[in-house]
A and B are shown apart, each in its own frame.
Chain A
Amino acid sequence: AQTIHQWPVAEIKAVGSPLSLGCTIKGKSSPNLYWYWQATGGTLQQLFYSITVGQVESVVQLNLSASRPKDDQFILSTEKLLLSHSGFYLCAWSGGQANTEVFFGKGTRLTVV
């Protein structure tokens, strides 16, 4: 069975500080990987998309960057946090075909103060 692990579970960070969030997918080779962001009670906004190691597409500009250093790992980061970065960050994966289910990790709750 496939598993997705996100870290950390929660973070409280100061404005202007750096951030690194990560996720690892086990049991699935060459997954499509995604980062989503969700404001409290809001919709899911897709941030980044990756279909293979080393290739990441940006969907929206939020002063964030993403990298896929390994087939099973996806990293979200920024050098300087803004208050607007607060929210719920979700890593997700799907199979390589179109129109397949997307599976989410448990998420990271980020509070920027």
Chain B
Amino acid sequence: QQKVQQSPESLIVPEGGMASLNCTSSDRNVDYFWWYRQHSGKSPKMLMSIFSNGEKEEGRFTVHLNKASLHTSLHIRDSQPSDSALYLCAASKQGGRALIFGTGTTVSVSP
């Protein structure tokens, strides 16, 4: 059973639009959430991480975390074609073996 679930599976966003991605962990022991972006044929690179309740913004990217529900979301505003990629959510915890990745959301930004 996948412990980190992401939705939607795929998303088409117009250029300049907003993309919203969701992620929930079923493991109540996780402390940290991570968002990675992986362009086709490349390796994943970390976008943002969050461990406190609330919101964190970096440029066009905003991450929210609700620790009570173990739900995080990633929002990309003013989406660009270069944002087209697989977005992977991951969770980690004290004593855990690195990151447990979710199922991923494929974002396609249409010009």
Cross-interface CB contact of A102 among B2, B95, B99, cutoff 8 Å: B99
Check if B45 sits within 8 Å of A104, measured CB to CB. Answer: yes
Residues of B within 8 A of A45 (CB): 101
Cross-interface CB contact of A99 among B31, B43, B45, cutoff 8 Å: B31
| Apart from the given pairs A57-B97, A98-B95, 13 other A-B contacts in the complex at a CB distance below 8 Å | A41-B104, A41-B106, A42-B103, A43-B101, A43-B104, A45-B101, A46-B99, A46-B101, A49-B98, A98-B31, A98-B92, A104-B43, A104-B45
Binding site for A on B (CB under 8 A): 2, 31-32, 34, 41-46, 49, 51, 86, 88, 90, 92-104, 106
Binding site for B on A (CB under 8 A): 32, 34, 36, 41-46, 49, 57, 59, 90, 92, 94, 98-99, 101-107, 109
Subset of 17 A-B contacts with CB under 8 Å: A43-B101, A43-B104, A45-B101, A46-B99, A57-B97, A90-B44, A94-B98, A98-B31, A99-B31, A99-B51, A99-B92, A99-B93, A102-B46, A102-B99, A104-B43, A106-B42, A107-B43
